[in-house]
């Protein structure tokens, strides 16, 4: 089904073509007509499925027909777990919103940035993309009102619950009008999301997209047995010896991310860390530089990595394994886009061997293992 069959405005069709989107992704073909029809949607889908465009376009279309609301009474609220995702989703609203005849004002608000400019900017906003905590602060200071919301979007709902936003979300739900459209997107349908689902959705369109497991076959994977002390030298050896560019390295803690980054830099490899202890500015800067190919290595923790879409990522290195097999698949799934197959490398310390077996079993794929003991890492 082409984009033209989905009921979108001609200038949006043109903008899609300008962006290089030829065909709707499966999730888009299903959710766009449903959202235009004011139905509730439950989408089990992750980053990479195309869910963002799937909800952004019909929301913009529906707003074209609705009458203006009072000042500081927004029409659409999109709740997201992280600042990075807020910025990213808002950008998509802006790209497509600017081509429509009726002006739509969109804005992203999130914690870790000063609240005053956000308070002032909220005047006349139709679509607000927000992290839960900051949204409540803005509501409490009367900078924004939620009583006239027509559409609520929960993006990466499972992540929001995992990050402990349950109380904030419940407080926000209390402030919303009973009659509204609800769109809930989540990578998994965990028990908790199931509860949210029952609270929120009436006879929704349910759609499940599982792209990442399908991508696994596109990714070439390798694992190295390596002792903890030799992980750093092995990482630097692989990057330098193979002249790897645009490498995303995952660590399991903030401390380790900083440590790995410092050592890379001391060894002349351009690297930056991105994690929850970094300021908003530093995070956006590192991510921006990495996305544009100006930064060779980005070292990240899982918390930050979720929801960030980086196109054409050739290398992912698991310096430390994640706790869950799902997270492992999510991490390496970033390299397995059809148009740019990539390589995932995992470091397996003696204590990780059993856990890595579990991961491979869940993934349904056995990874070639190389013992690094005999490799000469001197000088790295």
Interacting residue ranges for ligand AMP, rule: CB under 6 A: 21, 23-25, 28, 47-53, 309, 311
Nearer CB in complex with ligand AMP: 120/338:
338
Look up residue 339 and give its two tokens. Answer: 């148009």
> Quick one: 84 or 352, whose CB is closer to ligand AMP?
84
Min separation Cβ 92 and ligand AMP, Å: 7
**Least distance CB 48 / ligand AMP (angstroms):** 5
Cα dist from 140 to 1, 144, 174, 224, 291, whole Å:
45, 8, 13, 52, 36
To the nearest whole angstrom, how small is the minimum distance from the Cβ of residue 243 to ligand AMP? 27
Q: How far is the CB of 163 from ligand AMP (least distance, A)?
A: 18
Residue 274 · residue 298 · CB < 8 Å: yes
Nearer to ligand AMP (CB atom), residue 25 or residue 290: 25
Of the pair 32, 125, the CB lying nearest ligand AMP is at: 32
* Position with the least CB separation from ligand AMP: 52
Tell me the CA distances in angstroms from 113 to 84, 119, 123, 281, one per residue in order.
12, 12, 18, 8
Q: How far is the CB of 21 from ligand AMP (least distance, A)?
A: 4
* Smallest gap from residue 55 Cβ to ligand AMP (A): 9
Distances (CA, A) of 331 to 37, 39, 215, 303, 342: 35, 32, 12, 11, 12
Give the residue with the Cβ less far from ligand AMP, 170 or 340: 340
End-to-end CA distance of the chain: 53
Nearer Cβ to ligand AMP, position 80 or 321?
80
Q: In the complex with ligand AMP, which residue's Cβ is closer, 203 or 339? A: 339
Nearest alpha carbon to residue 319 among 379, 280, 271: 271
CA distance 170 to 24: 34
Question: Which residues are CB-neighbours of 20 under 8 A, at least 6 positions away?
Answer: none
Place of tokens 């491979």: 360
Task: Tell me the CA distances in angstroms from 169 to 65, 130, 162, 238, 310, one per residue in order.
Answer: 28, 11, 12, 44, 28
Output 143 or 298, the one with its CB closest to ligand AMP: 298
Going along the chain, which residue ranges are E strands?
41-44, 76-79, 106-109, 127-130, 151-154, 181-186, 205-208, 220-225, 247-251, 271-274, 297-301, 315-318, 343-348, 368-371
DSSP string, 73-97: B-SEEEE-SSHHHHHHHHHHHHHHH
Complex with ligand AMP: residue 191 or 338, whichever CB lies closer: 338
Q: How far is the CB of 307 from ligand AMP (least distance, A)?
A: 7
Smallest distance, Å, CB 115 to ligand AMP?
Answer: 27
Residue 127 Cβ vs ligand AMP, minimum distance, rounded to whole Å: 16
Residues 316, 344 contacting (CB under 8 angstroms): yes
């Amino acid at each position: 089904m082409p984009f033209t069959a989905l009921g979108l405005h001609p200038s949006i069709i043109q903008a899609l073509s300008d962006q290089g989107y030829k065909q709707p992704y499966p999730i888009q073909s299903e959710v766009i007509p449903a959202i235009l029809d004011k139905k509730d949607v439950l989408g089990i889908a992750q980053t990479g499925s195309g869910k963002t465009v799937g909800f952004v376009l019909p929301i913009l279309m529906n707003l074209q027909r609705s009458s203006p609301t009072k000042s500081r009474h927004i029409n659409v609220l999109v709740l997201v777990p992280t600042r990075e995702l807020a910025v990213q989703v808002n950008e998509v609203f802006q790209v497509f919103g600017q081509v429509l005849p009726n002006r739509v004002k969109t804005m992203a608000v999130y914690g870790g940035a000063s609240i005053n400019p956000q308070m002032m900017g909220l005047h006349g906003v139709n679509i607000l993309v927000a992290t839960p905590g900051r949204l409540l602060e803005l509501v409490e200071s009367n900078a924004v009102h939620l009583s006239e919301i027509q559409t609520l979007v929960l993006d990466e709902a499972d992540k929001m619950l995992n990050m402990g936003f349950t109380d904030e979300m419940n407080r926000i739900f209390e402030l919303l009008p009973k009659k509204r459209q609800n769109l809930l997107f989540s990578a998994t349908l965990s028990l908790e999301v199931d509860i949210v689902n029952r609270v929120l959705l009436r006879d929704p369109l349910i759609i499940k997209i599982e792209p990442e497991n399908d991508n696994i076959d596109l990714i070439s994977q390798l694992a190295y047995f390596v002792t903890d002390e030799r992980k750093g030298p092995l990482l630097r050896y692989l990057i330098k010896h193979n002249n790897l560019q645009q490498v995303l390295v995952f660590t399991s803690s903030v401390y380790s991310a900083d440590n790995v980054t410092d050592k890379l830099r001391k060894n002349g490899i351009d690297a930056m860390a991105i994690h929850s202890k970094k300021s908003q500015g530093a995070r956006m800067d590192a991510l921006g530089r990495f996305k544009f190919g100006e930064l060779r290595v980005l070292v990240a923790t899982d918390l930050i990595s979720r929801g960030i879409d980086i196109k054409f990522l050739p290398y992912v290195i698991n310096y430390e394994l994640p706790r869950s097999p799902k997270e492992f698949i999510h991490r390496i799934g970033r390299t397995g886009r059809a148009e740019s197959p990539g390589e995932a490398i995992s470091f397996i310390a003696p204590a990780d061997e059993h856990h890595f077996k579990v991961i491979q079993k869940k993934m349904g794929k056995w990874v070639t293992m190389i013992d690094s003991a005999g490799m000469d890492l001197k000088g790295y």
